[in-house]
Structures are given as structure tokens and as C-alpha cells.
Structure 1
Amino acid sequence: MTLLSSLDFSLPLQNPVIIFSLVLFIILFAPIIFNKIKVPHIIGLIVAGVIVGPYGLNLLKRDSSIVLFGTVGLLYIMFLAGLEIDLAEFKKNRKRILVFGLLTFIFPLVFGSLASYYILGYGFLSSLLLASMFSTHTLVSYPIASKYGVIRNRAVSMTVGGTMITDILALLILAGIAGMTKEDVSSAFWVQLGVSTLIFVAIVFAVFPIVIRWFFKRFDDSISQYIFVLAMVFLASFLAEAAGIEAIIGAFFSGLVLNKFVPHSSPLMNRIDFVGNALFIPFFLISVGMLVDVTVLVKGWGALKVAGVILVVALATKYLAAWLTQRIFKLTKTEGTMIFGLSSSHAAATLAIILVGYNIITGETASGEPIRLLNEDVLNGTILLILVSCGVSSFVVEGASKKLALDQDQEETNTANEQVNEKILVSLAYPDMVTQLVDFGIMLKSKKNDTSIYGLNVIDDEIAASQHTGTSKKIIAKAIAHAAASENSIIPITRYDSSISNGIVYTIKEHSIGDIVIGMHKKADQHTFLGTKAENIIKKIYETIYIYKPTQPLNTFKRIVVAMPPNAETEPGFLHWLKKLMMIAKEAGIPVNFYGTLATNDAVLKVIERSIGVIKVKFTEFSNWDDFLIFSRELKLNDLFIIVSSRKGHDSYVSQMNKLPYYLSNYFVEQSLIVLYPKQLEAGINMGNIEQADSHLIETITEQFGVIGKAGRFVRGLFKSK
């Protein structure tokens, strides 16, 4: 038993249990305290780091454990930036990203070099290295933008992309100057750096996707998937360092690669966000605060002068770059403010450059003191810059995020033209398909509307026994737990009925369900491909039905292929299913290939052009459903095949659809597919019938009024004659 008197309470604290407990209490209470006084929680964590650090109360030493967790937190921020970014929007804005990246690098570099050379009196190499530090920035305030849900705004995407450009260029300058001081920079050095960088990029973007897809196909355990994701992030970071570039570049690139494999509404994404924001990122912010030495303010005018020049030049040039970017690309004022806020904070790369410069010895004084490339005044001024710039960044991003979030909500409200309260029903019959069906149901969930997801399991009461009831409870419990892992909820329904299909039909009608997800039964063949239950539902229900056969997880698809019948655009449910499909493609970040007639493809294109957001689409003319087997040659194993079908007697129904069970059960056995039945009017009442009925009604009324008119004229004639 350990006595209290035997515990070591000397400062800085040495007991790992006490140290970790103190850090956790800081992570818990610092944001709460600072939020009450309207200060961003990030500032609270940095200030807490200042207070407990070696230059404050000296409660904690910035030892290897703090450095380790701080490094993990920094890499985690860069990884999240790549993971959460909208890839389609990122590609769309690549020219803007390049322009902003160059502006936010060149302005600080030029003005910083001039200020360092002429105002501070440093030499050329010292001025250039110090100015390159001004050019870098760290996305310290990115978690604030993430909290407000504006990370997919173009301003955020531009800043994240610009961060990569400016940090790479600044670190290249650092490598060159470090080599020049050692007199070993030659053309071979730059060739080696270029080749190693190309090899690194090739491994991350060509090899990593193959490994990631293989793993996700074979392992669905949540813990294993999370550990695997972290392993890939830090492997990419290590490979970046091995290639001679900064580890944060590797973390960001790994996020870009994993972007397609981690849907934003998935349980895995929820775990990634939770662990990062609860532990790793706060550790990084506390470690940044522990670097700050507030005593530089009383160490003489030299340190204050350097700190003042560093602060003014660093913030002013970043503001100038953001303002020019806003004017050049006609962004809103709030977006320009967001760019400045995210790009104004200095931390990781800044500190790395300064520490390298501080440790480079260029000579000795007469008394034997080392002459450093960057002296102690620069080091202290930079540490002060970290504190002030992170504070400015946090306040600015907080304000801009609030405005962008309000604008985004208003825009979504104005553009939303679907029902306010959507209801999705997921029919759960097979235990091994529960997670795939629930994932698909969540993907259908609209972010704009109030959407309810129902999980239904129907028990045939004629054969119901205790084992069937137990299986039903396990299925429902599994669905609820899986949805909860992604912070979604499922409304469970267990129903006893003499017919399973009738149980599903009556549940749909009772709850006014709009979208129905049904798993394709396991013993599908050419005679009973959809199954008698699904066929009965299709006959009795005219809402949108998705009959899903998953052979691999949703996040491992490379492409969606959609086969559309002629006149698909004339069906009442056309706009609804198309918007749902676009939402899934955007969420998963995968392209869509549409196969349809010229008229149908044109209608799809017009809808996509009017929609908010960007997805990569391709159109191929296809109208001969007798030649349906061309898809067996076009489709690849990692494609999701969606067949837009139709109920008999409606505009888009073609007789060749009767052959679909034969084709799909014989030639598409290993293919993941969805047979989609769009929302339609009651049986036999299609748009053509309505138009004909309206025309007939108008003709009848006209004829009746014509008869009445003739009778009236005859009566009036009789009265006149009298």
C-alpha cells in the first residue's frame, strides 16, 4: 500500500498518474471556464498550457510524453483536414487553392525578408529563414470550423489546400538553408529530394487505396478499423519524413486517401472525431501553450522589438493575402475573414523552422559564445507569436464560423423543396445484413430535413416461437447499436403478422413512410429473384423502394453505375430518387455513370447542374434493354450497380424488365446492386393517363355546356316570339 507521505509532489510533477489526471482535468474544465467568458475553448487550452508549463507554475515538464501526444495531436488535425474536406469542391477550387497558397507564401516571405533585413538588421540567410516562418501557418482553429459544420465551405477548402502549398515551400527553403550552412547543398540534393517525394506520393495515392479497400472488405470490427486508420496515418507521416518533407504533409495526404473510405455519417467517422477532439488535439494545444515564455516581455527592448516586428508582419501579410484572395475570386466578406482566421495561426511548422535556425551555429564570438543563425530574441518573439496568433485565429474563426453556419442554414432552408419530415423504413430480416442495410438507410437520411429512420422486423405469428422472438430482439438491438455508433437513432418496430409482406405494407402505411430499404433475399434465383415478399410490397406500395444486395461495404465502392429506362424522367418519383442518389455519391465521394436515353440523360444533367454541391458524373446513351448484358462487361467488382425499374402500367416500364431476374441471378452474382422502384401514383394511373383523363373531362364538360347553351338560346327565342 502506498502512503500519501511517500508520494512525490515535487515540481515539476513526476508521477504519471497525477500528470495524466491533471491533463484530463484541464481538457475537461478549461473549455467550460473560457466558454462562459465568450472565449474560444482553444484559447482556454493554450492558456492552461502556459499556466501549468515550465514558464508558468511549473506543474508539468514538457518531456517526451507531452511532445509525443502533442505531435500526435498536430498530425491528427492535418489528418482530419484531409478526411473531412469535400474532395469534389477541393478539385473544383484547385486553381483558387494554388493562387491563395502562393499569395499567402509570397507576401509574408517578401515583406518578412525586408523587415528582418532592414529593421532588425539580420543577414540575408537569417532574414530569409525568418520570413519563411511568417509564410507558414498551422490549422489550429480548424476544430472550431468543424464544430460549426462549415468545413465544406470553399473558403475552408482553399485554406486547407493553401496550407499544404505554403508549408511545403517554406520547408524546402528550410532544407536549402540548412544545407547551405553545412556546405552540402548541390544539384544532387534537390534531385534526391524530388525523387523521394515522388516515390512517397506514388505510394500514398496508388498503394494505400488498394490496401485500405482490401482491409475494409475483410474486417468490419470497429476497433480494428479505427486502429488500422491510425496506423495508415502515421505510416504516411513516417514515409513523408523519410522522403525529406514534413510529417504533417503525410498526415494530410493520408486523410485525402481515406476520405472516400470513411463516410461522414459512419460510425468510424464518429470514433475518429471523438478520440481526436477528446484527447489528441487538446494535448497538442496544451503542449503549444507550454512553449510560451511570457517573461520575454520583461527581457529588454531587444526582445520586444523583435516580437513586435514578427507579430505585425506575420498578421498583416496573412491578412493581405486573404483580402486579395477574397477580391480576386469575389468571395463574400465572411469567407475572406475565414481564410484570414484559419491562415493566421502559427505553431508547428513555425516552431520547427525557428528551432532549426536557432540550433545552426555559424561561428563564435571573441568570448567563445556561439553565433546562431537566429538568436534568442527571435526564438522568444516566435513563441509570443504562437500565443497571440492562435488567439487572433480562434476569435476570428469563431465569428466567421457562426456567420457561415447561419448563411448555410438559410441557404438550405431556401433550397429545400422536399417534405419537411422524411421517414425511412429499413426492413431487417437477415442478421448478417443488418449493418449494411442500416448504413444505407443512414446514407439516405437528408441533412436538411427532419428525418426519422425506422427499423422493422416482422415475425410470422403462425410460426412464431421463442427462438424467432429471440432472433428478432438480437436483430433490432444490433441495428440500434450500429446506428448509435454514428450518432444516429433508429426507431425500433417489432411486428407480428400472419404475412411478413403485409406486416411491412401496413407499417409503411401507418407511419407514412417515404423510402423503403429491403435486403434482397439470400436464395434469389431467376424465378424468385426479388422474393415473393418484396414482390407483394412492390404491388401494394407506390413509394420509393430500394431492394439492396450488398456484397461489400458501402465505403469500398469505386463507382456507381445507374441503368435508367426510357421515360424515367417522367415518373413522379424521378427527382426524389435522383437527389437521394446524388446525396449518397457526394457523401461517399465516388463518381456516377448514368446509362439512359438522350432525353433521360439530359434531364438528369439539368437536375445536377441546379443542385448545390459537386459530384463527378458521366453519361452514356443506352436505350436497348434487350442488350442489357452489356453491363456484365462494363461493370467492375468494386462498382455499385443501380437498376432503376418500374411497376407495370407506368410510363417508364419496358417489357424487357421481366427478364431482369434471369440476367441478375445468372450474370451479376458477385455484383453489389440495388433494384430501385421510384415513387409512382396508384396502379394504372400514370402521367399519360392523367393527361388523357383531363382531356376527356374537359371535352365532356364542353359538350355539356354546349348543350345547355343551345337549350338556353331556344328558351330565350320562345319568350321573344311571345
Structure 2
Amino acid sequence: MELISQVLTIEPTSQLLGQEPIVPFAILLVVILVVPILFERLRLPGLVGLVFSGVVLGPAGWNLFQTESEIMKLLADIGLVYLIFVAGLEVDLEQFQRQKNRSLGFSCFTFILPLAILSLLGHLFGLNWIASILIGSLFASHTLLAYPVLDRLGVVNNQSVSISIGAKVFTDIGALLILTVCVAVNNVGGFSFPKLLTLIGWLTIYAVVVLAGFDWLGKEFFRRSGGEEGNQFLFVLLTIFLAAVGAQLIGVEKIIGAFLAGLAVNEVVGEGPVKEKVLFVGSVLFIPIFFVHLGSLMDFTTLTSKSINLQLMLLLVLGVIASKFIAAWLTKLLYNYSWQEMLTMWSLTVPQVGTTLAATLVGYEIGLFQPVVFNSVVVVMLVTSTLGPLVTSRVAGGLALSPPPEPAPTNQPEPKIPDNKNAFTIVVPIYNPQTQQYLIELATLLARQTNGRVVPLAIATAAANMDAPQLETSLQRSERLLAKATAQSRVLGVTAEPLLRIDDAFAQGISRASREQKASLIVMGWGKRTGFRARLFGNVIDNVLWASHCPVAVTRLVDSPRKIQRILVPIENLMAPTLQPVHFAQMLADCNQAQVTVLNVCERRTSSSKIADKRSHLSLLVSKLAFANPPEIQIIAHENVAQAILQAARLYDLVVLPFIRNHTSPGGLAISDVTTQLARQLTCSIVMLGEPQRQPTVTLATGVPSTTSTMSNI
């Protein structure tokens, strides 16, 4: 009887799951890992899947996630703050400066029109003016979810894209300022001009302290910490939460402090490994948790319980789409843009994710928004985040066919390749005896073609003590590898100049030695990422790519480079800066009298006339490179870019790919990359060519197009 009594008193499984915090967290990690992948395969944004998962697993569904749980609240708050911090971190003021006048004009239209139209709409549905104005400001900003599409199509240099990026700076700041005022007025129980002036005064002082103080502290800390990326990463995290706490102390929302912190450390972190670590942590953990939590707060029954609630939701969706369209149309008239450019601007400004959702949650938590308004705004986000990238992919393709910029005229004579230290220098870091021979062969082939020199480089890592036994062992091993590399290059007809360097770490040693040798190219062997630490803190190749002053060729050679006869170069973008892999491939082909094929994959439904335009456009670009044996041009219509390249690569000995890294947006979701998929599935030799990071790196939120390559002499 006692046993039966115990069995009968066992609590339901759902209650046990709710009481054990580790179980919901484990489920949360599974959701973050699996659901975005599934939704992206359905051609839907991953963040839509995360919100949907929150609805299913939250109180309105299976009730596995308790919205009142302290752990969920904490993680969601961190995700909220992180989301807005990333928005500030990825603002690029240089890009904004280039088109500031037109960006200001477009931002006025795309900010004021949604603000006015949707504020009136909210007031018509019985909301007070504070809540109505806040609703209008929510949709005045936008999130550049479709930026990876534009990057892939090669249209980031188009002026309509540039001013859409620049307008985001104005709209984000404006939306957050209106949020600050609305929250302050709501907290004091009504509008008061003296109180408003006091708030503005405190906010101005606080902004100056954060922007100037954190910028100075960051530069000092980064300078004194040397290459300690872990400590630099922790410093950036500390600035986020210090700024958030400071904002709350003066009576404004913590997301205001997070945004200012992002602006403050923007220049400090620059485009480097520390920024990538910050984005990585947010995109894989905290920001997805915020979206799941947002979904768990939703209750669709509030939208269907009354017809007026459903009307509000539909009118909000239509109001956002229509107001953004009118703003883009007025900008078209003002600056004489084409319809295609106008539709691109509209589709870029339609998605409402980062700032919109953050401000919505704030308004909901302080009681300015009723559940029906909160749920309606989330539905608007789901619709616009799906519609915007879809329209962009349809209308922006033709922009890629705009003529490439002509090189600036110069009266300087054609450069000659000098001897010695100013020759085309190829640095080959050697560590693995298994891959060393093919690396040296590749470097000697390129050196003979350019009349250059090969510098085999060995790094012996050491701490402070130069008499450590480990250092002596490392030096002996490095000397053996260098002797072998010198002998290999001598057999191939090139005299190598071996270099042994003692340094703190491999990556820093390679980057510094390459700079000292005035390297034109670094040739490295393949390095695979393994484990969480490698993903979080990067590996040697990652760090060399971030720090190097010259291009880096990351190779996976399955056979001798001297046997390469057919080289494939897939080109996603039809813009001149992306042709650097063609330079590299043609130089290697000239060594072996090999043939290069330049491949571009377009959508299956592309018309024959557009395919002909693409072929002539690509032929024109390649012809300007003035090759003695010009590459073949091949255009394939296929629904899957990666699969098309994989099928074509079966007939080739080598595939040369641009090294494209995964970047994230304020939405916090990584975008799958064709290059990554190809690198995993190709069975032939691969060279992935990475450009130096001193050229601007494209990011999802406020991306900056790449500039002229340093490989012009290849």
C-alpha cells in the first residue's frame, strides 16, 4: 500500500520538467541547434522557427518553458541586451559618411511615414498617444536581414543598397530615443516639460560618458593586453552590462545603454577575431534564447478572440508594408532611382526584427502594450522577416549586372618586379611533415612564375624563459623541417630562404614574420576546426586571416600541384573585387599550361537573355585582366548553387574558392555559406583564398563592400 501511495503521488512529467531547470535548458539548446536548420531548409528565416518553437513549448503550448522562471528571464534579458549591443557594434560610420546626405533623406521618409501612419492607426484602435507613438516608432527602424543575398549577388556597391544601410543608423537611434521618452513619460504618470529636459540632460551626460569613456578605456585595455583575445573578449562583455546597469541607474531602459556600448567599442574591436567571438557567442546562444522566450510569451487566442484584434494585426502588417513602400517610392522620385532600385530599398527596410522586438518587449513589460498589441507586433515581425529577403532575392539580381567601377587613372609606369626583398614573396608556414611537400611544391611553382622567392617559416613557441627544455625541443624540430623544406625547393629549382622564429603563438608569429618579410602571399595547409574552444577562440588559420597584411591561400592538396591541369573557379558575385581567385588560378595554370574555367551559377528560372548578359558581363571582366590564355566562361542555371558546383567539380583537379566567413546580424542567426558546404564535400584539391582584413569586411547588419585587392600583381 505504501508503494502504491508513492506511485499515486508522483507528479506529472511536465511539472517535474518545470521544476528541474537543467531539463528546460537542455531542450532549449536542442531547439536552438535543430529548428533554425529545419526552417532554413524550408526557405524560411531561422528566427521564425525559434519564435514558433517558443509558442509551441511555452504556456500557450506544451508549457515546457515557464516564462516566469528566473533562469529564463535572466537568459532572455541577456539576449535582449546582446541583440541591441550587436546593432550598435555593427554600425559602420565610414559607410554612412560616404552616402550621408542621401541616407539622411531616405531615413527621413522611412522613419517619419511609418511613425505617423502607425501612430494614427494605434490611436484609432483606442490606444493612448504614448502607446500609439511607441508603436509607430517600432516600425520606423528596420533590420537588414537580406544583406547576405545582396552580398552573394555582388550588389553591395549599388547606391540604393548603400543608402539603405546608412539609413539604418538614423532609424535605430531615432526609434530608441522615442522609446526612452515614452518609457520615461509613462513612469512619471504624464508629460512634463521640466522632467523631459532633466531626462534629456542626464541622457546626454550618460551618452558622452559611455561613448568617450568606454572608447578610451577600450583602446587602453586592448593596447596593454597585447594579443590576449580572451581578456579582450571579456572586456567587451563587461562594457555591455556596465552600460546597461548605468542606463537603469539614470532611469532609462537598459537596451539604450547596450546600444551606446556597441557604438563605443565599435572602433576598438574593429574587424577582427574579438568581434567575431562576440558575435559568435550572441548568435549561437543568447540571442536565439531571446527569440524563443519571445515566442513563449505569445498567445494567439488573443488575436482570434475578437474581430477587432484580428483587424489590428492585419492593419499593422499592411501599414508597415505600405509605409515602407511609399518611403522608397518618394526616395525614387527624389533621387531618380530605377524601379528595381526602389523595390530593393523597400525590401531591405521591410523586415522588423532587432530594434523593433527589443522595444516591443520593453513596452509590454512596463504595461504600455496589451497582449493583443504584443502578439500583433510579433506577427508583423514573422511576416516582414519572411517577405523582405524573399522580395530582395527576386528584384536585386539585375543590379549585379551594373558596370563595374573603372580603375582610377594613373600616370605611373607599369610596375617591375624587383629583386630580393621586394620580389613577389611567398611565405610557407611549415609544421606538419605530411603536408609540407605539396605546400613547398605549390610555393615554388608560383615563385618561378613570378620570378619571386619562397620563405619556409617555422615557429617555435615559447613563454618568457628562453632556457626552457620545451623550447629547445621545438627549435630542433623546426630546424629539421626547414632543412627538409630547403632541400625540397632546391630539387624543384628554387632556392628557399628558410626562417626560424621564436614567438608566443603560431598565428602571431606567422603574421609578424610575413609582414617583416614583405610577403605577397601566405600559403598554409588545411586546418580543421574541432571542439567548442576552437569554434569560440578560433584556430591558427582564423587568426592569421584576421591579422595578415596580405592574401592567404589555405590549401587542401590531394595530389602534387605539378599534376594540376584543370582548375575551376566558381564566382558568386559578378563584381570585379571577387575576381581575385581568378588571378591566383591563372597564375598557377600558367605554371602547368593548365586551363582555368570561371563558373557562375544563376537561378534555374533565369531567362536565356539574362544568362547571355551574365556571360558577356563576366567575359568583359575577365578580359580586363589581360591573360595570355584567357579562362573559359561557363554559366549554369540551377536551383542549388552548391550542388551545381559539386557536379561541375568532378571534372577538375583543383577548385579555387574565396574564403567567406559566416557573419551574423542583429537577428543573431548565422547564414549558411556555400563555400563552407563545398569545402566539406569536394573530393579534389582545394585552395581557399582569403583577403587581408584591413579591407572592410561585409557584415549582415551594416555591411561594407570590399575594396581593391592587394593581389593586383598576381
Q: TM-score range by the shorter chain?
A: 0.5 to 0.7
Partner of 1:337: 346
The alignment status of 1:209 with 2:218, answered yes or no, reads no
Whether contact under 8 Å (2:83, 2:287) holds in the other structure is: yes
Q: Distance in 1 between matches of 2:501 and 2:150?
A: 36
Whether contact under 8 Å (1:104, 1:321) holds in the other structure is: yes
The alignment status of 1:168 with 2:176, answered yes or no, reads yes
Partner of 1:261: 268
Structure 1 unaligned blocks of 5 or more? 359-373, 430-452, 460-465, 477-492, 523-532, 547-552, 558-581, 590-610, 616-675, 681-722
Q: Distance in 2 between matches of 1:164 and 1:389?
A: 16
What TM-score do the two structures reach when normalised by structure 1?
0.54
Deviations 1:120-144 (A, max 9, x none): 3x37xx1453243122249895566
**What is the 5 A alignment of 1:248-327?**
248-264=255-271, 266-327=272-333
- Match of 1:496, as an amino acid? A
**What is the 5 A alignment of 1:561-640?**
585-587=694-696
Partner of 2:457: 456
Q: State the secondary structure of the residue aligned to 2:350.
A: helix
Q: CA deviation at 1:336?
A: 0.5
Deviations 1:100-138 (A, max 9, x none): 443333223322343344x43x37xx1453243122249
Deviations 1:494-534 (A, max 9, x none): 4217xx9x889979985999xx9998999xxxxxxxxxx99
Q: Distance in 2 between matches of 1:349 and 1:192?
A: 22
Q: Distance in 2 between matches of 1:172 and 1:679?
A: 53
Partner of 2:243: 236
Whether contact under 8 Å (1:46, 1:289) holds in the other structure is: yes
The alignment status of 1:396 with 2:383, answered yes or no, reads no
Q: Distance in 1 between matches of 2:234 and 2:149?
A: 24
The alignment status of 1:86 with 2:92, answered yes or no, reads yes
Whether contact under 8 Å (2:117, 2:319) holds in the other structure is: yes
Deviations 1:42-73 (A, max 9, x none): 11111111111111222211133223222322
The alignment status of 1:105 with 2:111, answered yes or no, reads yes
Q: Distance in 1 between matches of 2:427 and 2:242?
A: 39
- Match of 2:379, as an amino acid? L
Whether contact under 8 Å (2:88, 2:260) holds in the other structure is: yes
Whether contact under 8 Å (2:351, 2:387) holds in the other structure is: no
Aligned partner (choices 131, 134, 157) of residue 132 of structure 1: 134
- Match of 1:252, as an amino acid? F
Structure 1 residues 172 and 134: alpha-carbon distance in aligned structure 2, compared to 1, 3 A threshold: same
Q: Distance in 2 between matches of 1:289 and 1:205?
A: 33
- Match of 1:386, as an amino acid? V
Q: CA deviation at 1:545?
A: 9.8
Partner of 2:702: none
Structure 1 residues 299 and 258: alpha-carbon distance in aligned structure 2, compared to 1, 3 A threshold: same
Give the number of the structure with larger relative contact order, counting CA–CA contacts within 8 Å between residues 6 or more apart: 2
Aligned partner (choices 351, 367, 380) of residue 361 of structure 2: 351
Q: Distance in 1 between matches of 2:240 and 2:477?
A: 35
Structure 1 residues 127 and 144: alpha-carbon distance in aligned structure 2, compared to 1, 3 A threshold: same
Q: CA deviation at 1:272?
A: 1.9
Q: CA deviation at 1:357?
A: 4.9
Q: Distance in 1 between matches of 2:544 and 2:215?
A: 15
Q: Distance in 2 between matches of 1:149 and 1:511?
A: 42
Partner of 1:181: 189
Larger radius of gyration: 1
Aligned partner (choices 145, 150, 157) of residue 165 of structure 2: 157
Structure 1 residues 458 and 520: alpha-carbon distance in aligned structure 2, compared to 1, 3 A threshold: closer
Aligned partner (choices 20, 40, 47) of residue 25 of structure 2: 20
Q: Distance in 2 between matches of 1:317 and 1:140?
A: 12
Q: CA deviation at 1:24?
A: 0.8
Structure 1 residues 336 and 46: alpha-carbon distance in aligned structure 2, compared to 1, 3 A threshold: same
Cα root mean square deviation, aligned:
5.3
- Match of 1:133, as an amino acid? I
Q: Distance in 2 between matches of 1:87 and 1:517?
A: 41
- Match of 1:257, as an amino acid? A
Deviations 1:339-359 (A, max 9, x none): 32344774221232355454x
**What is the 5 A alignment of 1:109-128?**
109-117=115-123, 119-120=124-125, 122=126, 126-128=128-130
Q: Distance in 2 between matches of 1:212 and 1:395?
A: 39
The alignment status of 1:57 with 2:62, answered yes or no, reads yes
Structure 1 residues 584 and 145: alpha-carbon distance in aligned structure 2, compared to 1, 3 A threshold: closer
Q: State the secondary structure of the residue aligned to 2:457.
A: strand
- Match of 1:349, as an amino acid? A
Q: Distance in 2 between matches of 1:28 and 1:159?
A: 33
Deviations 1:60-109 (A, max 9, x none): 11133223222322332332233334331123333344434433332233
- Match of 2:22, as an amino acid? V
Whether contact under 8 Å (1:425, 1:517) holds in the other structure is: no
Whether contact under 8 Å (2:60, 2:298) holds in the other structure is: yes
Partner of 1:495: 482
Partner of 1:225: 232
Structure 1 residues 505 and 252: alpha-carbon distance in aligned structure 2, compared to 1, 3 A threshold: farther
The total of aligned residue pairs comes to 476
- Match of 1:352, as an amino acid? V
- Match of 1:495, as an amino acid? L
Partner of 1:10: 14
**What is the 5 A alignment of 1:462-481?**
470-472=473-475
Structure 2 unaligned blocks of 5 or more? 1-5, 409-413, 416-422, 431-453, 461-468, 505-512, 523-542, 548-690, 699-704
Structure 1 residues 325 and 679: alpha-carbon distance in aligned structure 2, compared to 1, 3 A threshold: closer
Whether contact under 8 Å (2:86, 2:259) holds in the other structure is: yes
Q: CA deviation at 1:21?
A: 0.9
Q: State the secondary structure of the residue aligned to 1:78.
A: helix
Q: State the secondary structure of the residue aligned to 2:19.
A: coil
The alignment status of 1:386 with 2:378, answered yes or no, reads yes
Which of 206-215 and 16-25 deviates more?
Answer: 206-215
Q: Distance in 1 between matches of 2:492 and 2:233?
A: 36
Whether contact under 8 Å (1:43, 1:391) holds in the other structure is: no
Q: Distance in 2 between matches of 1:242 and 1:269?
A: 28
Q: State the secondary structure of the residue aligned to 1:457.
A: strand
Q: Distance in 1 between matches of 2:109 and 2:200?
A: 23
- Match of 1:391, as an amino acid? V
Q: Distance in 1 between matches of 2:455 and 2:393?
A: 33
Q: CA deviation at 1:18?
A: 0.8
Q: Distance in 2 between matches of 1:101 and 1:473?
A: 62
Deviations 1:274-328 (A, max 9, x none): 2111111111111121122111233122322333333333443233334434554
Partner of 1:32: 37
Q: CA deviation at 1:543?
A: 7.5
Q: Distance in 2 between matches of 1:146 and 1:517?
A: 41
Q: Identity over the aligned pairs, expressed in percent?
A: 23
- Match of 1:27, as an amino acid? I
Q: CA deviation at 1:380?
A: 0.8
Whether contact under 8 Å (1:338, 1:397) holds in the other structure is: yes
Q: Distance in 2 between matches of 1:385 and 1:114?
A: 16
Q: Distance in 1 between matches of 2:32 and 2:382?
A: 17
Structure 1 residues 614 and 510: alpha-carbon distance in aligned structure 2, compared to 1, 3 A threshold: closer
Deviations 1:594-650 (A, max 9, x none): xxxxxxxxxxxxxxxxx97599xxxxxxxxxxxxxxxxxxxxxxxxxxxxxxxxxxx
Whether contact under 8 Å (1:40, 1:398) holds in the other structure is: no
